Amino acid sequence: MALEVKKNKAILKEIVTVEEAEPLFEWFLKVKKPEVDMTECSHIHTAVLQLFMIFKPKLILPKDEGLKLWLIGF
C-alpha cells in the first residue's frame, strides 16, 4: 500500500496512484490538522496533488529531490 493512514498523520510511500485519492480525501475531511509524511514517496498522482492544494496539509518532505522541488517550489 502506498498509503498508510494514522490518526493525524498519513504516510505516503513510493508512487501514489489515483486510487489513493479517495481514502486520502476521506481522511482529510475527518482530520483537523493533517500531516503527510512523504519521506519515502517518489510521485503523487495529480488527483492527490490537487487534494494537497485544497487541504494544505503539513508536509514532511520527500527524499526524492525532483518531487521535493515541485512541492516546495522551484
Partner 1 sequence: MNNSLLEQFIIESKEYLQKIGEILIKLEEEGSSKELLNELFRLVHTLKGNSGLFDFPAMTKLLHASEDLMNRLRDGSLEYTSEIADILLEAMDTISQMIDEIEASGELQPSTNETAFEKASFIRNFLSEGKDSLKKVKKRVEKIEDQPTEVKSYDYLVIPEDTRMLMVRALFEGKPVRILQFSPEEECFYKGDDPFLLVRNTPNILWGRYYLRERIEDIETLDIYKCITNFDVVAIAEDSVLKEHFQYVLDQIEIIIPSISQLIIPKGDRNGGPVYEDFVEEFTEMLKKGDKGILKNSLRALKELTAPNLYVSSCLRWIELLIDYLPDSMVYIEGLLRSIKTFEPPRFGEVQKTYEIKPEVTEKSMTIPKEVLRVFEEQKKVLEKISSVSQELKEGILKSVFLSLENALTASKNSELLERLKQKNTIEDIRSFIEECLSLKVEEYRKPEKVEKVEKAKKVECVEKEEKVSEVAEKPSTTKVLKVDETKIDRLMNLIGELVVTKNSLLYLSRKVDTEYELVTFSKEMKQYYSVINKIAEEMQDAIMQVRMIPVSTVFQRFPRLVRYISKKLGKKVKLIIEGEETEADKNVVEALADPFIHLVRNSLDHGIEPPEERIAKGKPEIGTIILRAKQEADRVVIQVEDDGRGIDPQKVKQKAYEKGLISEEELEKLKDEEALNLIFLPGFSTKEVSSELSGRGVGMDVVRSMVDRYNGTVSVTSVKDKGTTITLSLPLSMAVSHVMLVEAANQKYGIPMDTIIETVRIKKEEIHVFKGVQTTSLRGKVIPILFLNDLLELGVPPVTTEDGEYAVLVLNIKNEMAGIVVDKFLGTADIILKPLPGFMADITLFSGTAIMGDGSVLLVINPKELIEWR
Phi, psi dihedral angles at 8 (to 5 degrees): -110, 5
Angle between helices 21-30 and 46-55 in degrees, nearest 10: 10
Q: Which residues pair with 58 in a beta bridge?
A: 35
Return the number of the residue (29 or 32) whose C-beta is nearest partner 1.
29
Near partner 1 by CB under 8 A: residue from 1, 18, 40, 63: 18
Q: Contact 13/40 with Cβ under 8 angstroms?
A: yes
Residues 40 to 69: which contact partner 1 by CB under 8 A?
A: 43-47, 49-51, 53-54, 66-67
The contact set with partner 1 (CB under 8 A) reads: 18, 21-22, 25, 29, 43-47, 49-51, 53-54, 66-67, 70, 73-74
